[in-house]
Structure 1
Amino acid sequence: MEEKIHSESNSCDTMGGQSGKLSFNTKDESSSNTYTYKVSIKTGDRPKAGTDANVYIVLHSNGQASRETKLDVFFRNDFERGQLDSFNISKLPFASIDHIELWRDNFGISSDWNIDTISVKNTGTGDEAVFPIFRWIRANYRYNFIPLDTSLPQYDERKEQRQKELEEKKALYELAIPAPGIPSRIKAIPADEEFSFDYLWDLNKKKLVLLATSKVKRIATGAWKTIEDVKSIYTKSVFVPPTDTEKWKDDVKFGNQRLAGVNNTVIRLCTEIPEKFGVTPEMVEPFLEGKSLGDALTGRTIFIIDYDLLEDCPCKEGHVVCAPIALFYRRNDGKLVPTAIQLFQKKADDNPVFLPSDPEYTWVLAKMWFNNADAQYHQAVTHLGYTHLIMEGIVVITHRTLSQSHPLFKLLAPHFIYLIAINTRAVNKLSSKGGILDQVFTVETRGILELISRRRPSWRFDRDGLIPEDFKARGIDDPEVLPRFPARDDSILIYDTIKKYVEKYVDLYYETNEVLLADDEIQNWREEITRSVDNYGLGMQGVPGGDSGKFTTKEQLVTVLTGFISIFSVGHAMANFAQYEEYSHPLNYPSLLRGTPPKDKSTRAESDVVATLPDKESHFSIMITGKILSERGTKPLGDFEVNYVFDPEAVKIVNEFRADLANISEIISKKNKTRDPPYPYLDPAEVPNAISI
């Protein structure tokens, strides 16, 4: 990055017709009580951020003002993309400034201009005022900026400018009315949300690169011959074996997938056996370590997953997806194991209850078909629908309703980076007709969208959007009930730390609940989040505020902010970063199976298991997708790509948050030394700030 410095005195160029609007100090410039200011402007590092336009500035101090100064270095290109330019303005009679005016004309081929920051430093005293801009500067409008640029709307004297900026944002960030049941998404991607990420989602190119770098040979075509043959797909680099490849048949491994896999959002405490589930006490009691089923239920050691949502879900032609019900038992050693699986919802002679005592490969097939159903739900609901898509609406609404000067915009914005871009580019490529989801998931894109819409009516922020409340609602928040649950323990640990951070931040700017009530922007934010989809809102249920339609307490606001930041970071990390580990072994967590599920409990052979697997080419696409999705797209939580917060008191709060996260990282790292297997996905050093992959 090149820094350019140019000196300008008060006698430099001014904009015609403007000087009469300003008050100039006419103090003798030869006086020793004059000061020089170094003005440094960092142009944004994004496409078309640089400008050829003429740029002007005025420095203000307690009613006094400098002359209009044209910022220019002759024969040099100022304000290029990503560049830091500095200019000296000398012989000013005041020792500090309270705001600046900045504007540009539309001269030149490239007149658009995006600024990251401006700093104005008194070279004599060393005092420096920082202006975090992070805006596009439109032509022929005189912007007023105050140091730190942080203000609640009721205290901001720049009301006209603030309103104009919000109107511009509303025109850029519009919600489209989505298909029924699908979370609201942006109508058209703004230029600010673009990024050069297409290369990552050109899977044909990625496939060639990965083949070359991993030295994989002859795995992309043909069918598997034996289970042992699956090992041939792994290499020493790139496509390394999952950590517990050899345990894919193990019941403890299968149980652990509910607690430390990619889909920890479905299992719940079982208090009674559903009528539609054909399991009986006699069937499962041999696996309950001497307990009766009744005692195990009252003792809170029985858990259930019911995939009624998958019943009659659309599928690939010639394929079947189950809608299973499964029972799990927490053993005395704390480990969770399956005790019964019914692959479809209705009792029938051809829909038996499979048990661990069934023939080995019969039981293996029942678990594989269950996991195939689990994978469809994971990708549709847990991952795509209720992290990626539902959070896109929050990004859009925030841009529409909160000024960039609002302290809560600055709190939330680091968690928005690349989300709209990844959704627009990558998700569209994944879910387009003939895309990856069509190729490697049993329910294809249409089934994925169907599952998202089926889940939508029951999804509530105050239950599903708050990590501790989700575990509580499923009866699995108590460590005594499930002592070996790393996804729960680590996620709640980080959630509580995020809440502590948000509480301090909110308290800094809202001294009382009355201040919150008077904040029209944050109240509009809540209104658009809860407004019906037909009226271009998100239609989100369960947002605190109730019948009043407003945030009435700071606690309500803290809850919402904590929930959203947690979904952007922790929630997505739980659903995303174990994907290669889970999906890359075709027997472990199959997203696609061939043939039909077993309809009786007769003995199956290894060849029957191998016959259900997708061909090698399809599985290689699964591996590539899992590999890409498991890569980190942004910096770790708290280490923001863009720092919007410059208020010194707020910076202290951010630094305390980072220190708390570092402490949690040490705690989780220590835990992972004794966990079998380790669960690294929620170590704060591994959790990204945003949903950017």
Structure 2
Amino acid sequence: MVIIKLLSTMGRIWSHFHQGETDRELTIYVTTGDRRKAGTDANVWLILHDEKGQSTDTIKLGHPFRNDHERGATCDFKAFSGDGFGFPYKAEFWRDSFGLGDSWFLEKIEVEDKTHGTRHVFPVHRWILPNRHYVIQEHDCRLPQEDENIEQRRTEIKECRRIYQYAVRIEGGPAQIKDLPEIEEFSEDYKWDIVKNKGRSMLDTKIIRLTTDKWESICDLKKVYKFSLGDPAYLECWNEDRWFGLQRIQGVNPVLIKLCTKIPKKFGVTNEMVQPFLEGFTLEEAIKENKLFYVDLEILKGINCKDGRMLCAPLALFYLNRHTELMPVAIQLFQDKGPDNPVFLPSDPPHTWLLAKIYYNNADAMYHQSLTHLGFTHLLMEGVVICTHRNLSQSHPLFKLLAPHFLFLLAINSRGLEKLICVNGWVDKTMTVGCKGMFELMKKGMRVWHFNVHGMVPNEIKSRGVEKDVLPKYPYRDDAVQIYHTIRRYVEKTVHCFYDKEDKVVNDYELQQWRAELVKDRKLGGCGFLGVPGEENNRFTNSEEVIDTITAIISICSLGHAAANFQQYDEYAFPPNYPGILYGDPPRDKAPVTENDILNKIPTKQTTLDIMTITKILSTKATKSLGDFEIQFMYNPICVKAAEEFREELAQISRQIKLRNRSEAFPYDWLDPEYIPNAISI
């Protein structure tokens, strides 16, 4: 029976290929996706349609005695069209359920017409179900109101709404995926298993051979890195005031520093306290000259931490000196003034001042991990990914524009973070807040996060009053703003290609439904975002609103996450620099303390090892650089050109940053486009 079937198949292929001399030869390239279970043993067929409504005969996409359509492979097939057949306009294809492994993820079909020297691309990026006919137009990029294949769009969106469902796992927190769809799984799970990678890293470090659990001295702690995972970048300057100031503008959490226009009443700073550090200015004069900046971590007040740990909610004041260095001049560890809540100063006993800075950084680290990193990138964008799949067809231009920036985001959140943020997991062991406090912080953060402020870098910078004419040296701001505008130009070219008239925005019902679900209350099945453009009319009415929204999303998924993530090892690995957890109570007076007192506060050897290994893994770039897309979704010539120009602009920015960093004592290269991934995939 097998021989008969093969002979019959060969006969059909020969009959199909043996055409008249006037027929045109076509070469068909079929690319199967590179993901688990993507390859198929099923029989596959194809019909090509031209713009005049003419069709080829049914073409069987299979070779005798060959395994076609294997994972990650491109197979080519010869076919012939009638002499009157025009350019391929649509590809219609289907498969059966033959074979042990019949599931199939089809990436794209390309048709080469050597007679006319043309190549036509039909991007698919779909799991192909058996016995269903799929029709893909060339480039597969149409607004819904212009798509002749509307029923297929509606069917696919309906299926996506079934697969991509919201769940609010953190009370008051961001929307998350209910169940991870198979299509969102990592290609190779073992590469992304944080727990296994942690185990391998621990084997690589000799710290596990150390017997006692307490550090004997700071020097004792410093020695560990040379024999294990490498020295954190700031190992030798961690205790300097200059570095403490730099952490506010180029550290792992560079989004909190604000211009000080008046001293908050709750901040017990007086002129007499700080005037010795203001280079001759009084406190009032320094404020008028825009010389003072501050951070207020009030959001941390009242957070219930794991095991009743004490968390500060500090305020810190910084002075911009004549060398344009941001220097700390006052730290108050709690919000309410009182005799047991002193204002710590650089003139205090050295280790007392140092301990105040350490406790401030511990609080800053809680904000960083809970909000800047996890809450406002990973989890916030998880809702956007779900919303996009539920409302925008895969044929929608905006879906294709966003898709490269969603790669593995749901997978890393579902498979990765669940290993870290769980009862007695990494966060509970190495972060003062623990999971309980982290979730409370996320709930608070979601109440104040606004899309049109915090999601848009230039607006966010402006809201803090830290533009370049006020704060000349601010590496995060300079790089982030420049890259944000570059992303916006790229988005603008693509959006204007499809929305050349504003009524196309208004009439795009997929787009309008997408926005509606972005702002819909999370309890009712939406993302619950505040400040999404189009708020005035409760819908998008022009292309600028669309451009701003898409730019913000891509920005958060790329530069936003990069700034908050990849410096983690350098910041956290040496605990006194940026401690994830501290033991005991914060200082309540200015009594002198010793190095041993500080050693009693910082993490033990085992906890330090946990911090080192996980932050080392999290600081590893996992996907390609921004603009160098892992998968090409866009084939429209205008969009392809826009992407090329995008990469060229990013390359120029990369060269500028590298040139700047050559002369910097503390280079900031975390937003060098070469190091910014497309997506949140680690």
TM-score range (shorter-chain normalised) is over 0.9
How many angstroms apart in 2 are the aligned matches of 1:220 and 1:549? 62
**What amino acid is aligned across from residue 653 of structure 1 in structure 2?**
A
1:64 aligns with 2:51: no
2:391 aligned partner, one-letter code: T
Structure 2 Cα separation of the partners of residues 216 and 426 of structure 1 = 25
Change (3 A) 1:210 1:406: same
Is 1:84 aligned to residue 78 of structure 2?
no
Please tell me whether the aligned partners of residues 8 and 90 of structure 1 are also in contact (alpha carbons under 8 angstroms). no
Per-residue deviation, residues 331-352 of structure 1 (Å, max 9, x unmatched): 1110001111111111121111
1:139 aligns with 2:135: no
| Residue number among 322, 327, 330 corresponding to 2:317 in the alignment | 327
State the partner residue of 2:365: 375
Query: Which position in structure 2 is the counterpart of 1:164?
Result: 155
Deviations 1:1-38 (A, max 9, x none): xxxxx999995599xxxxxxxxx9xxx98754211211
Pair 1:181-2:172 in alignment: yes
> Separation in 2 of the partners of 1:136 and 1:202?
25
CA distance in 2, matches of 1:524, 1:70: 39
Corresponding residue for residue 43 of structure 2: 54
Offset of residue 319 of structure 1: 2.7
Equivalent residue number for residue 656 of structure 1? 645
The residue that corresponds to 1:637 in the other structure is 626
Kindly indicate whether the alpha-carbon contact (under 8 Å) linking 2:319 and 2:328 is maintained by their aligned counterparts in 1: yes
| 2:441 alignment counterpart | 451
Is the contact between residue 219 and residue 233 of structure 1 (CA under 8 Å) also seen in structure 2?
Answer: no
Counterpart Cα distance in 1 of 2:217 and 2:451 = 46
CA deviation profile, 1:368-407 (whole Å, cap 9, x unmatched) = 0111111111000110000000001111111111111111
Contact 2:197 2:617 in 1 (8 A): no
Aligned equivalents of 1:470, 1:492: Cα separation in 2: 10
State the Cα distance separating 1:75 from its structure 2 match: 2.8
- 2:608: which partner in 1? 619
Question: Counterparts of 2:583 and 2:9 in 1: how far apart (Å)?
Answer: 74
Per the alignment, do residues 206 and 219 of structure 1 end up closer, same or farther by CA in structure 2, a change over 3 Å counting? farther
Higher mean C-alpha deviation, range 378-387 or range 605-614? 605-614
Offset, 1:661: 0.4
Contact 1:35–1:95 (8 Å) recurs in 2: no
Distance 1:44 1:230 in 2: 47
Q: Alpha-carbon deviations, 1:111-131, whole Å to 9, x = none? A: 221100101122433322111
Does structure 1 residue 260 correspond to structure 2 residue 250?
A: yes
- Structure 1 counterpart of 2:503, which letter? E
Q: 2:214 aligns with which of 223, 226, 230?
A: 223
Q: Name the CA shift for 1:489/1:91 in 2 (closer, same or farther; >3 Å).
A: closer
What aligned pairs does 1:587-602 form with structure 2 within 5 A after superposition? 587-602=576-591
Q: Does residue 526 of structure 1 match 2:515?
A: yes
Alpha-carbon distance in structure 2 between the residues aligned to 1:201 and 1:59: 40
Distance in 1 between the 2:496 and 2:296 partners? 42
| Match of residue 504, structure 1, among 478, 483, 493 | 493
CA deviation string 1:639-658 (max 9, x = no partner): 01111111112101100000
Which segment drifts farther, 556-565 or 178-187?
Answer: 178-187
Taking structure 1 as the reference length, the TM-score comes to 0.94
Counterpart residue number, 1:99? 90
Q: Quick one: which of 528, 531, 534 aligns to 1:545?
A: 534
Partner Cα separation in structure 2 for residue 349 and residue 651 of structure 1:
64
Which residue number corresponds to residue 482 of structure 1? 471
What SS does the corresponding residue of 2:394 show, helix, strand or coil? coil
- Aligned partner (choices 567, 580, 583) of residue 556 of structure 2: 567
In 2, are the aligned partners of 1:29 and 1:91 still within 8 Å (CA)? no
Q: Post-superposition shift, 1:177?
A: 3.7
Q: Give the structure 2 partner of residue 19 of structure 1.
A: none
Tell me which residue corresponds to 1:678.
667
Which of 105, 126, 129 is equivalent to 2:117?
Answer: 126
Q: Indicate which of 91, 105, 111 corresponds to 1:114.
A: 105
| C-alpha deviation, 1:317, in angstroms | 2.0
Measure the CA separation in 2 of the matches of 1:524 and 1:516: 12
Shift of residue 270 of structure 1? Answer: 1.2
Deviation of the 1:209 alpha carbon:
2.5
1:214-363 residue pairs with structure 2 within 5 A?
A: 214-216=205-207, 218-219=209-210, 222-235=213-226, 239-317=229-307, 319-363=309-353
Matched residue type, 1:120: V
Query: Please, which moves more after superposition, 177-186 or 650-659?
Result: 177-186
- In structure 2, give the amino acid aligned to 1:634: T
**Pick aligned residue for 1:387 from 373, 377, 400:** 377
- Give 1:617's aligned amino acid: Q
Of residues 293-302 and 381-390 in structure 1, the stretch that sits farther from structure 2 once superposed is 293-302
Please, which moves more after superposition, 241-250 or 517-526?
241-250
Name the aligned partner's letter for residue 681 of structure 1. Answer: W
2:3 match:
none
Cα pair distance change 1:172/1:63, threshold 3 Å: same
Of 578, 594, 598 in structure 1, the residue corresponding to residue 567 of structure 2 is 578
| Alignment match, 1:195 | 186
Taking the aligned partners of 1:30 and 1:179, their CA distance within structure 2 comes to 64
Q: In the aligned structure 2, how far is the partner of 1:621 from the partner of 1:199?
A: 20
Q: Aligned partners of 1:207 and 1:400: how far apart in 2?
A: 35
> SS of 1:246's equivalent?
coil
Contact 1:44 1:114 in 2 (8 A): yes
* Residue aligned with 1:502, SS: helix
For residues 417-436 of structure 1, the aligned pairs below 5 Å read 417-436=407-426
After superposing the two structures, state which structure 1 stretch, 81-90 or 380-389, moved more: 81-90
Unmatched segments (≥5 aa) in structure 1: 1-5, 15-23
State the alpha-carbon separation in 1 of the partners of residues 33 and 275 from structure 2.
65
SS in 2 for 1:134: strand
Q: State the match for 1:20 in structure 2.
A: none
Q: How does 1:8-19 map to 2 (within 5 A)?
A: 12=13
Q: Distance in 2 between matches of 1:357 and 1:495?
A: 41
Distance 1:243 1:457 in 2: 35
Alignment deviations for residues 421-461 of structure 1 (CA, whole Å, 9 cap, x no partner): 00001111110111100110011011111101011111101
Aligned equivalents of 2:472, 2:594: Cα separation in 1: 36
* Contact 1:219 1:620 (8 Å CA) reproduced: no
In the other structure, the counterpart of 1:492 is 481
Given that 2:568 and 2:618 are in contact with CA atoms closer than 8 Å, whether structure 1 keeps it comes out as: yes
Cα distance, 1:141 vs structure 2: 1.5
More displaced 10-residue stretch of structure 1: 464-473 or 168-177: 168-177
Distance in 2 separating the partners of 1:631 and 1:221: 30
Distance 1:220 1:169 in 2: 54
Structure 1 residue 197, shift from structure 2 partner? 6.0
Verify the 8 A CA contact 1:8 1:69 in the aligned structure 2.
Answer: no
In structure 2, the gaps of 5 or more residues are 1-6
Query: Does the 8 Å CA contact 1:221/1:615 hold for their aligned counterparts?
Result: no
Q: What is residue 647 of structure 1 aligned with on the other side?
A: 636
Farther off after superposition, 661-670 or 70-79: 70-79
Q: How many residues align?
A: 674
Following superposition, the deviation at residue 202 of structure 1 comes to: 5.1
Match of 1:667 among 656, 673, 676: 656
Contact between 1:42 and 1:84, CA under 8 Å: does it hold in 2?
A: yes
Change (3 A) 1:392 1:597: same
